[in-house]
Amino acid sequence: MSKIDFLAIGDTVIDTFIKLKDAHVHCNIDKEGCELCMRFGSKVPYEESITTPAAGNSTNASVAVAKLGLKTAVMTNIGDDQKGKDCLNSFKKNNVSTKYITVEKNKSTSHNYILWYDIDRTILTKHTQFDYKFPKIKEVSYIYLTSLAENSISYHAEILEYLKKYSKTKLVFQPGTFQIKLGAEKLKEIYNLTEIFFCNKEEAGKILNTEDKDLLNLSKGIKNLGPKIIFITDGENGSYMYFNDELWHMPIYPNEIPMLEATGAGDAFSSAVTCAIMLGKNPQEAFTWGPVNSMSVVRQIGSQAGLLSRKEIENYLKNAPENYKAVKIN
């Protein structure tokens, strides 16, 4: 097997989308801290249910980068159930190497339930606690580390040992729910070795344990943890990059087709930006790739149906409006 360009490490899940019709959203006056509300103690009708195999942050990223033309593998654990078999078939279909997938007996593949209302969603998540072990592998170009379960501390230590052994391997870190919950102190060496970092605005506040919503302050706070290039997304407000002590802003890519639902938009963004950097683009140019991939993903149900090829992204960029560009704001 030739050298892997992109190795995604993280949990694989099955996603079941439940489209709600009888609910409403309650938000604070600042439009943040929104809550999905349904009647309690009664039957709540839903419109449809759709299940997709092989989802999750690492899986979405691996499929996205494979579609963009790089040699890709995923390191993950799945159960020896039918859901696990469905995931393996999905990886193979999407040209993602399954060489580093561990199938554990008597365990169930992780399964998310996504309450989909209007254009947004709330994800009910439960990670199966697998017996994580980092195998002996040769040097890869980039490792993309993301969501793992709470019992993965020792696994992170094994990943660190690998990164110290192969110092030319670049680390991309997009922390998942439980990695954020673990705290930056417990993962300080991971943050310190990170080349490219991704999170959204809310996650940045949780990582830094701050209520400060200023993007420059949040970016500097993440930078102080060690990452060299920081990307923070902020929904319809666009995204931000902090690099060489400069803060840049990128608007969302205009979408002539209405947004359907947002699952996987962040993964589409981070994987496209990472791939562009891997292909030799400078950070400012790579920054323009992310919102294009996200724009396409939110047009479809699920996190992978809308992922674009390199040619498709380049065509969108060629036809982008004049104001679609990274702008230095500090």
Sequence spans of domains, the chain: 6-12+55-110+128-328
| Residue 167 CB-density burial (10 A; 0-12 exposed, 13-18 middle, 19+ buried) | exposed
Distance separating alpha carbons of residues 190 and 227, to the nearest angstrom: 9
Check the CA dihedral 73-76-80-85 and report its sign. negative
**Which residue, 275, 288, 273, is CA-closest to 327?**
288
User: What pLDDT, on the 0 to 100 scale, is given for residue 1?
Assistant: 52
Distance separating alpha carbons of residues 17 and 114, to the nearest angstrom: 5
User: What pLDDT, on the 0 to 100 scale, is given for residue 195?
Assistant: 98
Order of strands, edge to edge, in the sheet holding 13-20? 46-55, 13-20, 110-117, 120-124
Check the CA dihedral 278-330-211-268 and report its sign. negative
| Rg value, the chain, Cα | 19
User: What pLDDT, on the 0 to 100 scale, is given for residue 300?
Assistant: 87
Distance separating alpha carbons of residues 22 and 178, to the nearest angstrom: 31
The tally of CA atoms less than 13 A away on the side-chain side of residue 150 is 4
Level-2 CATH architecture, domain 6-12+55-110+128-328: 3-Layer(aba) Sandwich (3.40)
In the chain, the percentage of residues whose pLDDT exceeds 90 is 75
Quote the tokens at residue 1: 């097997």
User: What pLDDT, on the 0 to 100 scale, is given for residue 280?
Assistant: 97
Regions of the chain where pLDDT drops below 70: 1, 29-32, 119
149-152: long-range contacts, CB 8 A cutoff, minimum separation 24: 149/11, 149/178, 150/178, 150/181, 150/182, 152/178
User: What pLDDT, on the 0 to 100 scale, is given for residue 186?
Assistant: 93
